[in-house]
């Protein structure tokens, strides 16, 4: 079998920044993996080797030869020793360019660095294999490896996990693609190239790289020559650093890039430092379901790629991919100064905060429909301002059938998750801005356009106008309302400008249905009116609700309508209906039949409704006493009487 080395390097990769992919790959090969002076960072260059294999035919023959001869065999070192557990053979130099630090304070003839490495690697095996349930790396015959080899090299990088062969040179006795490997570890972790130094760096690198060796013997799922689970390799290995050595916190160094780019980025992105920061998803699963859930996912990866494997394991734990991705969007929001370390990430107060781009900042203006293109398996964050003391209704639709939804969050509150086409009818914002997290949990290769529909949070089931004698009755039924200061009623005739005629206090906040009513008595009979209903919220913003038309009734007879109020203390209104032109007299009498107040005398009036106010006084302007009085209207042919009561 032709021997080729594909290297999992705990370096870092700055994405493919060179315009010429061929030049970038050839630079890496000619440097023999040495990243000094390159545009690489120091976390992972794995993608280079996959790219080399994908693009093998475009490389010069001389470069291909160098790749085959210089990046193939394990290095040779001056000394070797088996760890106490017998699981690892460590190889190191003491005099060459690759020499480890010479200190031997224990005076046992072995550098202290190697003594520590033996303890560290045995601990890593015990935790990852015996406690967390990962399978051991495999040997070429498909059985668990008896002794795994570790080499210490001057890498100017954290570490390298190298596996044998091209991607089709898998272990033949096992279905799928499984590959054997060895690890190279940085010989001293000194210098500015490393975020973490000394033994702490050795600890997290051992945890990280050994899990790569484990991962390579589950099943390598390829698409176009690319391992589709590459992102999950790095997520898992970085998560394990914190599980085994929580005091080190090397993973924090990769979160700035992650939080700057997570809004709208695919969950399975392998871009630059993204998968290392994305280890936070596994921290979330660990807190929700226990630490063994990650090895459960890897067991599923033997039969399917990581995303379907995650989905299956979530289902076994009573969850779903849609729910989990939405929850992740919330957990990522509550970091930094928003951190809630009890509910969300225990170290969330050390994390950066989501970077919401300027184009994703919007101002709420009564009713907004905001379209956003969202990649598959991504959460997009939108900041909506002008939200102080506002209750809104939110709804998300997509331009095609898919899975996802949204939820609203602020410093203090988070809504439930609402699936596509399901509305959040009542989200109360007490802060100036809220953040909408739009989740596209579809596995379609197409990006979706999501439409976030925001409006004020109030539902009016009907708005109705009925004309009655001498009044138009304005009524509306509210199913629920929030943060309503006033209901505003306006009115106009034909082409006139609407004029506000009344304000009815709102309920501020109510989830119970309520019927509102307003009697408009300042009208003329037989006239067409249009009424408008609006709400004014506590933040002084106004929202239009509905409008309705009515033609006011014309009088059908001459009569006196009940006065209002009755009884009264200070004044009452007396309404009369005139159906034909008439001369009328209207006066108030006491129980003795004495006329005490004239309200109308010998007036010739046209058909309409007429209103007269009696203030409870007599002709001298003096207030009359408590008692029974009579309002009497006289026309040319008839008299009409209504009893009026005064209570002082």
pLDDT at 27: 80
Q: Find out whether 268 and 305 touch, Cβ atoms under 8 Å.
A: no
* Ramachandran angles phi, psi of 362, nearest 5°: -135, 150
Q: How far apart are CA 154 and CA 287, in angstroms?
A: 37
Helices 112-125, 198-215: inter-axial angle, 10-degree rounding: 40
Question: DSSP readout, 474-510?
Answer: EEEEEEEEEEEEEEEEEEEETTSPPEEEEEEEEEEEE
pLDDT score of 41 more than 60: no
More confident residue, 178 or 636: 178
pLDDT, average across residues 9-20 = 43
What secondary structure letter does DSSP report for 288?
H
Q: Find out whether 500 and 526 touch, Cβ atoms under 8 Å.
A: no
Q: How far apart are CA 224 and CA 599, in angstroms?
A: 96
Lowest mean pLDDT among 110-119, 168-177, 245-254, 506-515: 168-177
Q: How confident is the model at residue 42 (pLDDT cuts 50, 70, 90)?
A: low
Structure tokens at 312: 């299956």
Neighbours of 520 (CB within 10 A): 19
Contacts 24+ apart (CB under 8 A), 556-562: 558/582, 558/635, 558/638, 558/640, 559/640, 560/631, 560/633, 560/640, 560/641, 560/642, 561/469, 561/470, 561/609, 562/642
Chain centre distance of CA 417 = 9
Lowest mean pLDDT among 77-91, 327-341, 349-363, 448-462: 448-462
The residues pairing with 532 across neighbouring beta strands, listed in sequence order, are: 490, 547
First-residue to last-residue Cα distance in the chain = 112
Closest CA to 561 of 615, 629, 610, 628: 610
pLDDT score of 390 more than 90: no
Mark residue 198 as left, alpha or beta (left: phi above 0; alpha: psi -120 to 50; beta: remaining): left
Lowest mean pLDDT among 263-267, 443-447, 605-609: 443-447
Q: How confident is the model at residue 4 (pLDDT cuts 50, 70, 90)?
A: very low
Closest CA to 123 of 215, 204, 217, 201: 204
Q: How confident is the model at residue 46 (pLDDT cuts 50, 70, 90)?
A: low
Structure tokens at 83: 């760890």
pLDDT at 10: 46
Residue boundaries of the structural domains of the chain:
5-70, 458-551, 559-646
pLDDT, average across residues 581-600 = 94
Q: How far apart are CA 316 and CA 22, in angstroms?
A: 45
Question: DSSP readout, 69-126?
Answer: HHSSSPPP-SEEEE-TTSSEEEEEBSSSTTBPP---TT-SSS-HHHHHHHHHHHHHHI
Provide the whole-model pTM: 0.76
Q: How far apart are CA 429 and CA 409, in angstroms?
A: 9
The residues pairing with 642 across neighbouring beta strands, listed in sequence order, are: 631
Per-residue model confidence as pLDDT tens digits over 529-553: 999 999 888 777 787 888 999 999 9
pLDDT at 35: 53
Q: How confident is the model at residue 51 (pLDDT cuts 50, 70, 90)?
A: confident
Lowest mean pLDDT among 154-158, 231-235, 514-518: 154-158
pLDDT score of 7 more than 80: no
Classified as helix, coil or strand, 440 is strand
* Ramachandran angles phi, psi of 143, nearest 5°: -95, 160
pLDDT score of 1 more than 50: no
Lowest mean pLDDT among 44-48, 230-234, 279-283: 44-48
pLDDT score of 119 more than 80: yes
pLDDT, average across residues 245-273 = 94
Q: Find out whether 139 and 145 touch, Cβ atoms under 8 Å.
A: yes
Q: Find out whether 242 and 260 touch, Cβ atoms under 8 Å.
A: no
Chain centre distance of CA 397 = 15
Closest CA to 385 of 430, 432, 341, 347: 432
Q: Which one of 26-40, 211-225, 382-396 scores highest in mean pLDDT?
A: 211-225
More confident residue, 460 or 104: 104
Q: How confident is the model at residue 646 (pLDDT cuts 50, 70, 90)?
A: very high
Domains 458-551 and 559-646 fall in the same CATH topology: yes
* CATH architecture for segment(s) 458-551: Sandwich (2.60)
* CATH architecture for segment(s) 559-646: Sandwich (2.60)
pLDDT at 162: 83
Q: How far apart are CA 273 and CA 278, in angstroms?
A: 9
What secondary structure letter does DSSP report for 129?
I
């Amino acid at each position: 079998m032709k021997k080729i080395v594909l290297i999992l390097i705990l370096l870092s990769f700055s994405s493919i920044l060179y315009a010429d992919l061929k030049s970038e790959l050839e630079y890496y090969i000619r440097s023999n993996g040495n990243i000094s002076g390159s545009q690489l960072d120091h976390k992972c260059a794995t993608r280079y080797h996959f790219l080399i294999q994908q693009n093998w035919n475009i490389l010069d023959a001389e470069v291909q030869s160098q790749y085959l001869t210089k990046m193939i065999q394990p290095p040779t070192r001056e000394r070797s020793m088996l760890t106490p557990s017998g699981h690892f053979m460590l190889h190191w130099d003491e005099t060459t360019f690759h020499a480890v630090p010479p200190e031997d304070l224990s005076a046992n003839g072995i550098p202290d660095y190697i003594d520590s490495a033996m303890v560290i690697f045995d601990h890593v095996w015990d935790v990852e294999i015996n406690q967390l349930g990962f399978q051991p790396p495999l040997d070429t015959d498909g059985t668990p490896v008896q002794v795994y080899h570790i080499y210490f090299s001057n890498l100017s990088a954290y570490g390298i996990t190298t596996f044998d062969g091209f991607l089709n040179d898998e272990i033949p006795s096992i279905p799928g693609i499984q590959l054997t490997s060895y690890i190279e570890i940085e010989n001293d972790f000194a210098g500015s190239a490393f975020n973490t130094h000394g033994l702490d760096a050795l600890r997290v690198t051992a945890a990280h790289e050994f899990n790569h060796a484990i991962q390579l013997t589950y099943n390598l799922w390829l698409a176009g020559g690319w391992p589709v689970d590459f992102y999950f390799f790095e997520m898992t290995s970085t998560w394990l650093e914190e599980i085994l050595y929580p005091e080190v916190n090397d993973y924090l160094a990769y979160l700035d890039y992650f939080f700057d780019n997570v809004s709208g980025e695919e969950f399975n992105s392998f871009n630059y430092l993204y998968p290392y920061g994305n280890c936070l998803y596994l921290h979330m699963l660990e807190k929700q379901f226990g630490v063994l859930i990650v090895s459960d996912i890897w067991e599923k990866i033997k039969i399917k790629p990581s995303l379907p494997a995650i989905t299956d394991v979530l289902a076994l734990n009573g969850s779903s991919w849609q729910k989990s991705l939405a929850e992740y969007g919330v957990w990522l929001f509550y970091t930094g100064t928003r951190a809630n370390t009890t509910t969300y990430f225990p170290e969330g107060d050390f994390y950066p905060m989501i970077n919401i781009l300027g184009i994703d900042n919007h101002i709420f203006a009564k009713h907004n429909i905001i379209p956003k293109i969202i990649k598959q398996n991504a959460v997009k964050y939108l900041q909506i301002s002008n939200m102080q003391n506002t209750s809104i209704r939110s709804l998300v639709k997509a331009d095609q059938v898919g899975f996802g939804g949204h939820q609203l969050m602020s410093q203090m509150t988070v809504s439930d998750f609402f699936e596509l086409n399901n509305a959040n009818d009542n989200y109360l914002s007490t802060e100036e801005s809220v953040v909408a997290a739009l989740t596209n949990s579809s596995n379609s290769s197409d990006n979706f356009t999501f439409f976030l529909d925001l409006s004020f949070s109030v539902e009016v089931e009907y708005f109705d106008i009925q004309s009655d004698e001498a009044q138009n009755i304005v009524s509306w039924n509210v199913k629920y309302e929030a943060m309503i200061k006033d209901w505003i009623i306006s009115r106009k005739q034909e082409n006139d400008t609407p004029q506000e005629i009344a304000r009815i206090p709102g309920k501020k906040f109510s989830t119970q249905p309520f019927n509102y009513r307003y009697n408009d008595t300042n009208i003329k009979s037989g006239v067409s009116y249009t009424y408008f209903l609006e709400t004014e919220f506590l933040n002084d913003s106004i929202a239009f609700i509905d409008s309705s038309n009515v033609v006011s009734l014309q009088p059908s007879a001459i009569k006196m309508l009940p006065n209002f109020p009755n009884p009264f203390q200070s004044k009452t209104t007396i309404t009369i209906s005139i159906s034909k032109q008439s001369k009328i007299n209207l006066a108030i009498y006491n129980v003795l039949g004495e006329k005490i107040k004239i309200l109308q005398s010998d007036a010739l009036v046209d058909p309409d409704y007429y209103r007269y106010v009696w203030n409870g006084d007599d002709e001298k302007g003096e207030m009359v006493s408590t008692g029974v009085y009579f309002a009497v209207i006289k026309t040319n042919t008839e008299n009409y009487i209504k009893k009026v009561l005064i209570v002082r």
